[in-house]
Amino acid sequence: MSVNQEWTPNIVAFCCNWCSYAGADLAGSGRMNYPANVKIIRIPCSCRLNPLFVLRAFQRGADGVILCGCHPGDCHYSTGNYYARRRMTMLFSMLDYLGIERGRTRVEWVSAAEGAKFAATMNDFVKTITDLGENKKLEDLRCKK
């Protein structure tokens, strides 16, 4: 599938519609480069991110999953990111407890004005995941056949 056969990480970024997706758009209009292995899925709010989706991404072959939402206090729905914050903290902690590399999951608050932050975050996250290497601990080999 890849252009070259060398391993490159596959990264899923969930972005809330109001802040981070707009931030990603701004990064685009500003022509701020970040690696192509980041693919964005638009969700209405960071609180829409079900931990199942994170696991699903790993199962299907993602090497890293990142959630971007409005900064705390700026949620379009007032409180969504506060719930997301607790949920993701608990999920990440659980994954860590099972020995899954901590770096594979991340939450970053990116506002609609922070195109540069979005690009920088993605560059940094891709680097982290590249350093961590392929996701082995939470992979489902059936999806790689």
Does 98 participate in binding another protein (rule CB under 8 A)? yes
- CA pair distance 38, 126, nearest whole angstrom: 8
Residue among 9, 19, 64, 87 that touches another protein (CB under 8 A): 87
Q: Work out whether 121 is an interface residue with another protein (CB under 8 A).
A: no
Residue 72 carries which DSSP code? Answer: T
Which of 96, 127, 131, 133 is close enough to bind another protein by CB under 8 A?
96
Which amino acid is located at 47 in the chain?
C
Q: How far is CA 98 from CA 10, 74, 138, 139, 145, in A?
A: 22, 33, 10, 14, 25
**Applying CB under 8 A, what is the total number of residues that bind another protein?**
81
Residue 68 binds another protein, judged by CB under 8 A: no
Report which residue type is found at 19: C
Check residue 5 for interaction with another protein (CB under 8 A): no
Tell the smallest beta-carbon distance from residue 78 to another protein (Å): 5
